[in-house]
Every structure is written in C-alpha cells, then in structure tokens.
Copies of this chain bind each other. A is one copy, B any other.
C-alpha cells in the first residue's frame, strides 16, 4: 500500500471537514430570508417586530458582549424567560460563542431552581423582568452567578434587590455586530435542560450542536413539522420546556416567519396572534389548545390561516382532534418526546394506508403518538430485554437510541443505556405494523397481573367514560397469587351516585374481564402533583399500606 492507500484505509473521504455550529442556522436565515419577520408579543402586550437579519446582528453583539465579559467555551449561562426575541438571541449568542445555554424552567419550585442553577454552575443569568422576584428569593444561595442580565431596555429596568444586575440592552450596546462564530467540534455542548423528575433531584440533559442540528433537519421534513419559507410558526411551547421542541432551530432553518407569544398563553391572546399574524402552524401542550377552543366556541370565531397544530407533552384526547378538524379544518399532529430526546421522538402523520380508512378509524389512528423521525431508532422490549413485535397489540418498554438521545445526565459518568445502547424511556407502548407507536402507560404505573400487563391509563379511561365519573385513578396493589391487581379510585361528579357493582358491570363492555378491579373505592378527592397529574406515589403510600394492613 502506498500512502494514499493507507489514507484511504484510514477512512477519510474527500468531503470537507465542516462541523456545523448552531449559529449557522441563524446565518442561513439572515442570508436567504433576511427580511422574514420575527414577531414577539411582549409582557406589556405590545408587539415587537424585526427580521432574521436583525436577530443575527444582535446575537453577534451579544456574543461579543459575552466574550468581552470573559465567558469561555463550555461555561454555563442560564436563561429564565418567556418566548420573545431577546430570549431567541441568547440561544444563538451563547451557543454560537461556544458556551452552554441553560434554559431554566420558571414554573419549578424555587428550591428546584436553586438546585439547578447551582448544579449547572451558571455564571450569568438572563432573566425576564417577570422572574426577577423569583431570583431575589434565592439570590443568597447562588454562589456561581456573577451577573444577572434583565431582558429589557434600560428605562424598563425593574427595582430589584439583586446585586450585579444590568439590563440586556446596556449589556450589548457598545458591542460590534461583527463576530466569527466559534469553531467547535460538532459534538460540543450547546445547551442544557433539566428534567423535572417526580422523584429525586432534577437531572440535566446536555445537548450538542450536532444533536440539535440533526433533530432540526429531521423535524423540518414533510412528514414531521413540514416547515418551509411559506410557513408562519407560532411557537407556544416555551423555550424553557424541553428545548422548545427544536423550533428555535427548525423555524429559522427553513426561513419560516416566527411568532413568539411572550407570557400570553390564554385563549384570547393566542387566538389574536394566530389571527393577526396569519399563523399556519403552531405547537403546544393540550391545555393551551383547550383554552383556545373554549375561547373560539364562546365567541364564535374561526381561524382560516391555521392548518396544523402539533400537540405533545401529554396524550391528546380524540375529541380534541375531531373538534379541530370538523369545526376548524385544522389537522392535529400528535407528537411524543421527552427532555432526554432533545425532545422529539415521534410525530403522527398519516401514511397512504391511513388515508384509505374511514374517518373514525383515521381519528383513532391520529390519537396514537406516531412514527419515529428518521434518526431515532425505536423498539419495545419485554422486562427481560427481548424485542417485542410491531403488532399494535403487544405492549413493551419503549426504548430509543440515536444521535439526539441522552447517554448520561449532566455531571454524571453513569451511562444510562442498556447493553445494546438503548435508552429506556420509562413509557410502555405498542407499535403497529405501520410503525405507529402508542403510549399505553408509564412503566411505573402499569399493573403486572398474572404475567400480563394491565394499562392503568386504559383502565382509567374506561372508568371515566361512565357518565357519573369525574376522575379515576388506578394503582397496582400486591396480590399473593397474581403478583398485582388493580385498585380503582373514583371521584364521582357532583350529585351523582354509583355503586361498585354497577361500575364493574359497566366496565365489562369496556375492558377485558380479567382487568376489572375487584376493589373499587369512591373517594372525595384524588391528590395531584405540581403539574396536575394524579400523584400515584401518594396514592400508593396511602392505599398499598392500607391494603397490606
């Protein structure tokens, strides 16, 4: 072998060694869609408009300001803010400069926020005026934070007890808008987001330029978000929540018009923005859409420009899908993901076979969580690690792997993957032969009975379909013969009555006979977590101990 043979054997292609910094997305937007608008509804209610060119120029001023301040590659810089244009600039300015943009969720308990900022070791915090008071409450416990930069003009700077605070405009004012983005390995960290786990301390997921770029590519595609320069995207999903589902990257990548709602997420404000800005595409959790639908119904409104809404974060009721389609001709695209997946795993768009089904069957399909984006590998496994069939019936632990899936949590050396590199999502799901995945339960909530699995979610949904039932929660209780059996807790609607035999009779038509709980308790209240879900940990403490006693 001559030298070139050796070189070839070392597997070098003739392509450019060209790692892509996330800032290249904003550069592309400014170069090819420089006049495209970014519209922000500010806390004041005012609407702010500028362009991708403006955003790039200001992100570069910010990058220079960070560099002048002494921020270095790998340093953590936090944000605590609603979706608006300055927050967008921080994402690109911080990561493009080589530092790590750490989005802190202001909805967490202040103890958790304190923990997260300390765990990350954030040197700076960019903060919305609305959240300054929150930081004032914990300021003595944030030793790593050197400076708070309030996302406002100089003349809007709030009275604050924070030492070392400055307004954003003053911070970037004297800086050049010329900046050469950092030359980084594509695997360099770009951003950090903590999961708000129900148990233990929050855990950080450290994204890379590569992981965000690949997910943005995948999520733009026609079978995912289907974004183009003709799209107008209302990004309701908060930038502090699960990486904004990648929209901070995917929208500029395509040159879409971007609309940011600030703190105004109620039905009237969302309606107003969609209507006045001719929004064609939006993404949010179901609660936001419930509020919008209620506002539209109460005021007899329509949304002619809106074509598609992506809904994720929790399962979408089929009734919501039907209502959006029939009343407003809007397609609901269900998505599934998690912070550990950057967060996008699946999206539900119909395949040719789906479109041949009758309307009701199509709605039923649309209520599934969808197909994996290319780049996410997905399977379901049994408890003993065997891959299970894609038959749409067999539930298993949902496992994923790929370049935007977590390997280790931040500041941990523990690789949280199985021997084949799969990450256990903690969800239980089925996958049908067309590849459509449906979450049936959380793994910790499923009831294991006689070697088979009973979905607590399905059983709750069956109970809730009884006209007298307001809430229903199911937990597993130990059973000497069957390992576990379900216990059904029911809160009735006001003024309604029901006995357990009547409910059991009702359930016979809804679920397999062996799923029907022997034990049903009627309760006055079911305890909820901070995020409004049934607190099954509390229920287990209460009822499992009781049933053992």
- A interface residues (Cβ-Cβ under 8 A, vs B): 4, 8-9, 11-18, 20, 24-25, 27-28, 31-35, 73-74, 184-185, 187-190, 204-208, 210-211, 214, 217-218, 220-223, 226-231, 253-255, 342, 349-353, 355, 371-372, 374-375, 377, 390, 401-411, 413, 417, 421, 423, 433-435
Contacts and interface: CB of A to CB of B under 8 A. Distances in A.
Contacts of A228: 221-223, 226, 349
A407 B423 CA distance: 37
A204 B11 contact: no
Contacts of A375: 20
Contacts of A9: 73-74
Given A14-B410, A18-B421, 12 more contacts: A4-B413, A8-B74, A15-B206, A15-B207, A15-B403, A17-B187, A25-B374, A27-B377, A217-B218, A223-B255, A230-B351, A254-B374
A494 B206 CA distance: 72
Contacts of A349: 228-229
A3 to B, nearest CB: 8
Nearest to A229: B351
Contacts of A230: 350-352, 355
A405 B189 contact: no
B433 A15 contact: no
Contacts of A403: 15-16, 18, 20
Contact of A254 (B221, B254, B411): B221
Contacts of A204: 14
Given A12-B187, A14-B205, A371 B222 contact: no
13 contacts: A4-B411, A9-B73, A11-B74, A11-B184, A11-B187, A13-B208, A15-B187, A18-B401, A18-B421, A28-B372, A217-B374, A222-B228, A226-B228
B11 A404 contact: no
Contacts of A31: 390, 435
B188 A14 contact: no
Contact of A229 (B223, B404, B409, B413): B223
A91 to B, nearest CB: 16
A254 B16 contact: no
A509 B18 CA distance: 47
Nearest to A8: B74
Nearest to A371: B32
Contacts of A15: 187, 206-208, 210-211, 342, 403-407
Contacts of A32: 371-372, 434-435
Contacts of A206: 13-15
Contacts of A226: 222, 228
Nearest to A227: B222
Contacts of A435: 31-33
Nearest to A226: B222
A295 to B, nearest CB: 28
Contacts of A205: 14
Given A15-B407, A351-B230, A214 B217 contact: yes
Residue from A184, A229, A423 with most neighbouring chain B CB atoms (10 Å): A229
A405 B18 contact: yes
Contact of A255 (B74, B351, B390): B351
Contact of A222 (B33, B217, B222, B352): B222
Contacts of A34: 433
Among A31, A184, A355, A417, max chain B CB count under 10 A is at A31
Contacts of A187: 11-13, 15, 17
A205 B15 CA distance: 8
Contacts of A185: 11
A188 B12 CA distance: 6
A254 B222 contact: yes
Nearest to A184: B11
Contacts of A74: 8-9, 11
Contacts of A217: 214, 217-218, 221, 374
Given A15-B211, A406-B15, A410-B14, A223 B421 contact: no
A101 to B, nearest CB: 13
Nearest to A24: B377
Contacts of A188: 11, 13
Nearest to A13: B208
Given A20-B403, A33-B435, A253 B374 contact: yes
A30 to B, nearest CB: 10
A33 B33 CA distance: 34
A486 to B, nearest CB: 33
Contacts of A4: 411, 413
